[in-house]
Amino acid sequence: MIENSTDGVLLSVIIPINKIRRDLDNLVSIIRLANGLSIELVFVLDTSEDSAYEILTNICQSGNLNNYKILENFKRNPGSSKNTGIPKAFGDWVFFCDSDDLPNFQIISSYLLNVKGDVDVVIGAYEIENLQNRQIIQFDQGKSFLNWESISVAPGLWRWLIRRELLTGITFPELSMGEDQCFIIRLFAKEPRVEFSQEIFYRYRVGVLGSLTSNKKNIDDLEEVIKLEFLCESLSRKYSRIRNQMIIRQIITLILKGNLKLRIRGLIHLVKIMSIIPPREYTNIIKYISLILMNRRII
């Protein structure tokens, strides 16, 4: 473990890494973007690749990075890696970043310097880059989309800035898919004060070879996530509605991408969630499912 950071930084960025050679160029870019800002990078290596520790140390030193930590986790899932990083994050705010994406640290830092003191979470806009055709889409769909409805349609935790003290007592499930959504629902139990920003905080990249979300072997994790989310019952009406929508989002994935067993399980979960949702909300649920399917076509 390497700890080369100073106290009093504005933002801690937790970055799980499971394929360092694949993401090497992107990690160099992340380091360059963080340099000169009040940011510490908390890298969590979760890989069996030879010399991964040395490779990461070298690019941090070559990039003249001052505030960084290199941790190791060998459980082979991003949920566990993020749990490893949280206790070592000492910034005022915490941000979770995938090693194959690009955060906009300059915009994030500028925004946090002016955020109100009573805000616990800031959720920003993002853009999608398809590496197969190099197309970039700004995915905020205008100001009206940056609201509570957008959380369940596009719940990516990588566009969330979270006050560090809010993370006390919250963990990710040790899974490779859906762990962020479960974490968000657990966060909701603390009734955070949320602010939405139109600033683009993040570039999410699709078409990355070997990414965890594209690995069909990980789709089994979604059913475990759904079961865990059903257990999160101590939520206000507003947050319960978002939880229900996020569960439907994951059920749709099970039905569309799972094997026959998972599809059947997905249908069983769908019956269960529809029995919980008041009939007066069915029209909104149909609209929500349409948004989900449109979102999938864009990505």
Given CA atoms 100, 105, 107, 113 in this order, what sign does their dihedral have?
positive
Structure confidence at residue 212 (pLDDT): 53
For residue 28, being part of any structural domain is answered with yes
Say how far apart CA 199 and CA 134 lie, in whole Å.
Answer: 22
CATH code at 168? Answer: 3.90.550.10
Does residue 131 form part of some domain?
A: yes
Give the helix, strand, coil percentages of the chain, each rounded to 5.
Answer: 50, 20, 30
Q: What is the span of the domain harbouring residue 51?
A: 2-210
Q: HSE-up of 108 (CA within 13 Å, CB side)?
A: 33
- Per-residue pLDDT, 299: 40
Q: Show the tokens assigned to 218.
A: 């990980």
Estimate the crossing angle of helix 282-298 against helix 237-257, to 10 degrees: 50
Query: What value does the CA radius of gyration of the chain take, rounded to a whole number of Å?
Result: 19
Q: Residue 263 domain-assigned? A: no
Low-confidence ranges of the chain (pLDDT < 70): 1-7, 138-146, 208-217, 288, 291-299
What are 143-198's pLDDT values in tens digits?
A: 445 577 778 778 889 999 999 999 999 999 999 899 999 999 999 999 999 999 98
Q: What are phi and psi of 8, to 5 degrees?
A: 80, 20
Look at residue 229 in the predicted model and tell me its pLDDT. 87
Please tell me the predicted confidence (pLDDT) of residue 215: 59
Q: Output the pLDDT for position 58.
A: 94
φ, ψ at 101 (rounded to 5°): -115, 175
Q: Give the other-Cβ count within 10 Å of 101's Cβ.
A: 21
Q: How many domains is the chain partitioned into structurally?
A: 1
H-assigned helices in the chain: 24-34, 52-62, 78-85, 105-112, 148-153, 179-188, 220-230, 237-257, 260-276, 282-298
pLDDT at 210: 57
Give a yes or no: residue 58 inside a domain. yes
The amino acid that residue 216 corresponds to is K
Residue 233 inside a domain? The answer is no
Residue 189 lies in a domain: yes
Token pair in block for residue 127: 């853009």
Global pTM reads 0.88
CA distance 76 to 67: 25
Could you tell me if residue 68 is inside a domain? yes
Helices 237-257 and 179-188 cross at an angle (nearest 10°) of 170
